[in-house]
Structure 1
Amino acid sequence: MSKERHEIQEKYTWDLTSIFADDQAWREEFASLEADVAKAADLEGQLLESAQRLLDITELQLGLMRRLEKLFVYASMKQDEDTRVAAYQELYSQINGLAARFGQTFAFYEPEFMEVTEEQLAAFMEEQPALELYRHYFERLLVQKEHVLSPKEEALLAGAAEIFGSASEMFEILDNADIVLPMIEDADGQAVQLTHGNYIHFMESDDRRVRKDAFEALYSVYQQYQHTYAKTLQTTVKVHNYQAQMRKYQSARQAALAANFVPESVYDTLVTAVNRHLPLLHRYVKLKSRILGLEDIRMYDVYTPLSRKNLSISYEESLEKCKEVLAVLGDDYLAKVEDAFSNRWIDVYENKGKRSGAYSGGSYDTKAYMLLNWQDNLDNLYTLIHETGHSMHSSYSRESQPFVYGDYSIFLAEIASTTNENILTEKLLASVEDKESRFAILNHYLDGFRGTVFRQTQFAEFEQLIHQADQEGQVLTSDFLNQAYADLNAKYYGLAAEENPQIQYEWARIPHFYYNYYVFQYATGFAAASALADKIVYGTDEDREAYLNYLKAGNSDYPLAVMAKAGVDMEAEAYLNDAFAVFERRLDELESLAQELGVL
């Protein structure tokens, strides 16, 4: 059973005092920022008065945003420690409210800037050299010119930001704080509380009865609350579609991808390539069925490791393994990793009320913190090295770029993290010779590929389907969502929907469906990372330097251009086909080893 927050040793919790010393310090800065945002309310109509005014207002907006992000990080991470704590729910609500007011205050900025002519902007930049820093920032704004509304309309949308996000917040509270999962019996017959954190552990059990019980227990809850989850998801989809319509986009997908300067063809190319390679996933599922000795493989068997070799690894051992593997990226990268691991950047263990899953977070002026819900297994080693990739990407971007470019596109976000995963796999396979260990590592890689490329593309298809359905007037009832998801799952895994009835409710537990076309980037990121990891491990010093330059680029260039400089063309299908070739090669080796080890 998970512990209360105060029962976790301090060294295994993140240290947020480097952001604010305590809640009172947060409140004082909140009040100060609130006053400064209010003072900025009379700036409308002044942006293009002169070059100096453009500079002053631009830097004021960015400076207030920088402070806002720092306040947000503290409030959100304190809430994530224990989502049941009302005080931090209040801080989180307050900062979201201030963010909405900030948006209203500066809603004039983009519409007014869009009135600038090419000649006027050139004259301004010549008159005030300090504006040169913002050349790419201005360029990115002007690309979106036709989708920026009038100042009044922008203010109305900005003022509704908190309302627009309420369905997503309701999902978070319901799923992390209010829902209590059932008790089940573990392999030893002991009663255990099922949680989001230990669910996968039970799904990886050698005991099929445990897998089945955990699977059915989890989805019994989502079945019970399916109508509530359907309403929160439907509302979020409607928000996405409404915002896209207001900004004159043809679809929510076009709007979401345009925000990151990614053409929709990248999305379609991914879905097409994955669908063409679904026979590889079907082959893997059938191989898993044969190795497990199951004539009737079900979805609750899909997560089951094929190896009986114990690859349990502690948190401390995982820290050392990550440092050993990531040393290939050079001394500076390794020093940053050691700082993160030894100076409480990481919130390690699950506790009651803690947000589920894992992430890397922070802002320009904070550490790149990581949240985990640690279990002693190989999968969590991969999670650690994955989130470390995010944190190193953030650290390099923030250190190398001014605030205006110190973040990076979400399209690039999953590439650094999955590059780390692929480096780990390459290093493990290069150093391990005994057949049982290689079998276990290959199995883990193939399961990771299944979960990241195939599964996330399945999610992407579902996300596109429900947004299109809503746009066409379809009501997203739980019945509609259940049927759509069941059919899609059957296509991907080749397993009959009627034999896996619980899986139809899986859509209800996926938080990423609230993130507005985020999930496809896990799949594109993993495939791109496969190519980058190969260059890092087997390439030249120039290849590794190009990768570090990608980490440092932040938003100083467009995402596809940043990746092209790193050596991957993400508008072509080649990088995806190369990734599937690696999957097939490792599937071949797994099958051969299964025969040699006598498990097939």
Structure 2
Amino acid sequence: MNHVPKRSETAVEARWKLEDLFADQAAWDKEFAEAKALIKKVGAFEGKLGDPAQLKACFELEDELSLHVERLYVYSNMKHHEDTAEPTYQALSDKAKKISVETGEALSYITPEVLSLSDAELDALIENKDLAVFKHTLEEMRRQKAHVLSKSEEALMAQVGNVSSAPGSIYSILNNADLKFPKVKNEAGEEVELTQGRYIQFLESKNREVRANAFHTMYDTYGKLKNTLATTLNANVTKNIFYARARKYPSALGMSLYGDNIPESVYTNLIDTIHKHMPLMYRYMNLRKKLLGVDELHMYDLFAPLVDEFDMEIKYDDAKKIVKESLKPLGEDYLSVLQDGFDNGWIDVYENEGKRSGAYSWGAFGTHPYVLLNHKDNLNSMFTLTHEMGHALHSYYSDTNQNYRDAQYTIFLAEVASTLNEALLMDYLLNKSTDPKEKMYLLTYYADQFRTTVFRQTMFAEFEKIIHEKTEQGESLTPQDLSKIYYDLNVLYYGKDMVVDKDIEMEWARIPHFYNSFYVYKYATGFSAATSFSKQILEEGAPAVDRYLGFLKSGGSDFSINILKKAGVDMSSPEPIEQAMSVFESLIEQMEELTK
């Protein structure tokens, strides 16, 4: 079938069963009315939250209402994603958004009122046996208390909120709308406009001239706006420091880690441990140079294919079998839940007209998770399947083992379960592969994930740390300073086998993540934690699997770092990153062996 089918033309067995969430529209409408009625009851507790019985009733109502709204929101949006052009579900999705905002406003007095209690009163509530199920919530509020300001100051901070989003908004408009790139030649020698989307395609070209030309053109264009871009990034750093000081955090970094209760040592330890293992990256660059057969390895050679595209056609039914086989180390219980997901309408498999692009795992507490795919019969899609099912099973285990409030896990933990599944799939494919070409293709695919997800994101994290610290110490950051810091980091991370082209000094201007400060390190820690888990599971077997399933079942019942630690991955120590690096080293060794 060459054309993209309409929703009505897709096989029923390849669609998710949203009726497991709501049998029909009437059921949705009924729950919507119930949620509306509950919103009216929320205000009754205002001014009474120092009383344990009133607080308990208030929290219980909050949970009941939040779950209704979550169910309404998830269902209406997933229906909308089946065919985004269908007006019925567009309207339903808007209706759910509105009730979600209304709910947020109705509940907004709870946290400030609890925080206005004295430390002694708060401590008494935390220790109250009748409130045991809400202990983690209360402890979290108690922890936040030191950084909550007076009522009038909080009102002022809320007003500043609109101003503080300016650097990110300005950058986004500049980067996505106003910045225009010249034309460059593609592989066929035709002049085409360079865009953000096409840039990576150009860098993946087999034609070196195409790669070099796109690279120089891209950074030359950014270079022309370096003063504006530096001012915008500086404004964002200044904003972070303003918030950190106003809320009495030790630093901007300390403030961003505080939300997930992550010690700063996790961040610095990631950078320090990666520094120690730079020689591995240098070895990989040396190998890349050899495989590309070039005298000098340049920055624009980083995405060039090392082996010819190895076309692996994998039908969806085969992908499910291979994924299941690769996850055998996780034991029978995990496999039976996975099979349940495959067989019973968790997954919306193929693309159809108007369907939302990409892939995700989502759902509402109390019903099984759902996975949206746009499956193509290739290797990438098989990795997407195992990745999203990793998320789905994490949600399944946390939902079935925790109450509603404690089942929600943090972003810091979210990528661990999905990436672990990818690591086990990769291990399985590498062990099964007998074709040297296929093996080399898989090895480079995996080694590049280490390069982009661990090394590159750590380099970004280090750049953010340096620019914030310099500003906190009262130093200014000119465009030249930003470019020098960024250039020097590239030299440090890529080593002497790489010609670090001067143009790369402008790359900081192209990274939108720098406006979502101190976030990217989570990619590197999540990948390292998952790699550490997979190594333990493959080497130890059952005891490591039990620890890992314990991690999945914990949801958000404790702080992320503690949940991982209990499961045998201590992110405040170098060990998980060391374990990830030993896996990276074995990939390089296998690649070196194949190139002899």
Structures share fold, TM-score greater than 0.5: yes
Corresponding residue for residue 386 of structure 1: 387
Corresponding residue for residue 247 of structure 1: 247
Counterpart mapping for 1:97-496 below 5 A: 98=102, 101-102=105-106, 104-113=108-117, 115-117=119-121, 120-121=124-125, 124-125=128-129, 128=130, 131-154=131-154, 157=157, 187=187, 200=200, 203-212=203-212, 215=215, 237-308=237-308, 310-314=310-314, 316=316, 317-338=318-339, 340=341, 343=345, 345=347, 359-364=360-365, 368-370=369-371, 378-472=379-473, 481-494=482-495
Corresponding residue for residue 585 of structure 2: 584
Contact kept, 8 Å, 2:7 with 2:352, in 1: the verdict is: no
Counterpart mapping for 1:11-50 below 5 A: 37=39, 40-41=42-43, 43-49=45-51
* Superposed displacement of residue 134, structure 1: 1.6
CA distance in 2, matches of 1:15, 1:172: 37
CA distance in 1, matches of 2:506, 2:83: 30
C-alpha spacing 1:167/1:326, structure 2 compared with 1 (3 Å): farther
Provide the secondary structure at the position in 1 that maps to 2:390.
Answer: helix
CA distance in 1, matches of 2:287, 2:361: 35
Contact kept, 8 Å, 1:386 with 1:417, in 2: the verdict is: yes
CA distance in 1, matches of 2:395, 2:532: 21
* Superposed displacement of residue 273, structure 1: 0.8
C-alpha spacing 1:199/1:15, structure 2 compared with 1 (3 Å): farther
CA distance in 2, matches of 1:463, 1:80: 35
C-alpha spacing 1:393/1:334, structure 2 compared with 1 (3 Å): same
* Superposed displacement of residue 264, structure 1: 0.7
C-alpha spacing 1:469/1:319, structure 2 compared with 1 (3 Å): farther
- The one-letter amino acid paired with 1:417 is S
* Superposed displacement of residue 406, structure 1: 0.8
* Superposed displacement of residue 293, structure 1: 0.8
Contact kept, 8 Å, 2:115 with 2:141, in 1: the verdict is: no
* Superposed displacement of residue 485, structure 1: 3.3
CA distance in 2, matches of 1:168, 1:94: 25
* Superposed displacement of residue 109, structure 1: 3.7
Corresponding residue for residue 598 of structure 1: none
TM-score, L = length of structure 1: 0.79
* Superposed displacement of residue 423, structure 1: 1.1
Residues 190-243 of structure 1 deviation map (CA, whole Å, 9 limit, x = unaligned): 898988777655544434345446656766786788788767765654554343
- The one-letter amino acid paired with 1:269 is N
- The one-letter amino acid paired with 1:271 is I
C-alpha spacing 1:233/1:186, structure 2 compared with 1 (3 Å): same
Unaligned runs of 5+ in 1: 596-600
Counterpart mapping for 1:562-577 below 5 A: 562-577=563-578
Contact kept, 8 Å, 2:265 with 2:572, in 1: the verdict is: yes
* Superposed displacement of residue 396, structure 1: 1.6
C-alpha spacing 1:380/1:220, structure 2 compared with 1 (3 Å): farther
Deviates more, 1:205-214 or 1:536-545: 205-214
Deviates more, 1:171-180 or 1:306-315: 171-180
C-alpha spacing 1:289/1:352, structure 2 compared with 1 (3 Å): farther
Counterpart mapping for 1:506-525 below 5 A: 507-510=509-512, 512-525=513-526
* Superposed displacement of residue 41, structure 1: 4.5
- The one-letter amino acid paired with 2:56 is L
- The one-letter amino acid paired with 1:40 is V
Provide the secondary structure at the position in 2 that maps to 1:108.
Answer: helix
Provide the secondary structure at the position in 2 that maps to 1:428.
Answer: helix
CA distance in 2, matches of 1:176, 1:389: 32
CA distance in 2, matches of 1:314, 1:289: 31
- The one-letter amino acid paired with 1:550 is F
Contact kept, 8 Å, 1:345 with 1:370, in 2: the verdict is: yes
* Superposed displacement of residue 288, structure 1: 0.4
* Superposed displacement of residue 591, structure 1: 0.9
* Superposed displacement of residue 584, structure 1: 1.9
* Superposed displacement of residue 48, structure 1: 0.8
Contact kept, 8 Å, 2:564 with 2:571, in 1: the verdict is: yes
Corresponding residue for residue 545 of structure 2: 544
* Superposed displacement of residue 539, structure 1: 2.4
Residues 458-492 of structure 1 deviation map (CA, whole Å, 9 limit, x = unaligned): 12112323433554566777766555434433332
TM-align CA RMSD:
4.7
Greater Cα radius of gyration, structure 1 or 2: 2
* Superposed displacement of residue 265, structure 1: 0.6
C-alpha spacing 1:4/1:264, structure 2 compared with 1 (3 Å): farther
CA distance in 1, matches of 2:482, 2:3: 35
CA distance in 2, matches of 1:453, 1:73: 32
How much identity, in percent, do the aligned residues show?
Answer: 35
C-alpha spacing 1:350/1:532, structure 2 compared with 1 (3 Å): farther
Contact kept, 8 Å, 1:100 with 1:158, in 2: the verdict is: no
